Amino acid sequence: MNPHDHPHDHPHDHAPIESPADAAPSYYEVMETSIRELLVEKQLISPAEIRHQLEVLDSRTPALGAKIVARAWVDPEFRSRLLADGRLACEEFGITFYDDTKLIVLENTAKVHNLIVCTLCSCYPRPVLGLPPDWYKAKPYRARAVKEPRAVLKEFGTEIPEDVEIRVSDSTSMMRYLVLPRRPEGTENFTEEQLAALVTRDAMIGVITVNPVN
């Protein structure tokens, strides 16, 4: 039986399988197009704004976050500025934010490992990482990260030593977090670009660490 066929009294937050792009538009796709066109007709929004925002969405990828992390690893003064005010430091890179969202950068150390989540919905440091992966928006991660972070990390293949504290930060629409992972050993001679190439999206969410270089 399809698990979605039974009525439930609990929210399932994982998306059903998406329909292929070349099929006839779904009811909700038609609804989105219709809302957008009506608002354009009423001159409340413009097609140019939508186009521009699509370009902005495409421009935001975890590569931006990786650049920030690599710079923080090589430049102690930048690192201090980043930890003091994440948004201001990212704006030095020309990264644009929306409304008055705060970005708080959480530094992993030998004693603390950080993990970010949004238990209520899907708040995420979009200006520096782009859009969140589906699992970040789904119930298992949102429900369990705040309760049993070590078990959650294990499911990502990450084992954090018992003497390291795990801190979970729950995001809101006004307060987003980014994890500054630990610089792996063996990278002393790496260029900033080579360092950035090691930093992945999942390491900046905190579900994995940046792997040491062999």
Beta strands in 63-101 (DSSP E): none
CB 72 within 8 A of CB 128: no
Interactions with another protein, residue window 166-185 (CB under 8 A)? 170, 173
Site for another protein in 132-151 (CB under 8 A): 133-135, 137-144, 146-147
Please choose, from the candidates 163, 193, 162, 158, the residue with its C-alpha nearest in 3D space to the C-alpha of residue 179: 158
**DSSP letter string over 13-64?**
-SPPPPPPTTSPPPHHHHHHHHHHHHHHHTTSS-HHHHHHHHHHHHH--HHH
Q: Which one of the spans 49-57, 71-79, 108-116, 190-198 is the region binding another protein (CB under 8 A)?
A: 49-57
When computed from its CA atoms, the radius of gyration of the chain, rounded to whole angstroms, is 20
34, 46, 59, 121: the catalytic one is: 121
Q: Considering the complex, state which of residue 45 and residue 83 has its C-beta at the smaller distance from another protein.
A: 45
Query: Residue 170: phi, psi to the nearest 5?
Result: -95, 115
Binding mask 73-112 for another protein (x = CB under 8 A): -------------------------xx-------------
Residues in touch with another protein (CB under 8 A): 4, 7-16, 18-19, 21, 24-26, 28-39, 42, 44-45, 49-50, 53-54, 56-57, 98-99, 117, 119-122, 131, 133-135, 137-144, 146-147, 152, 155-156, 170, 173
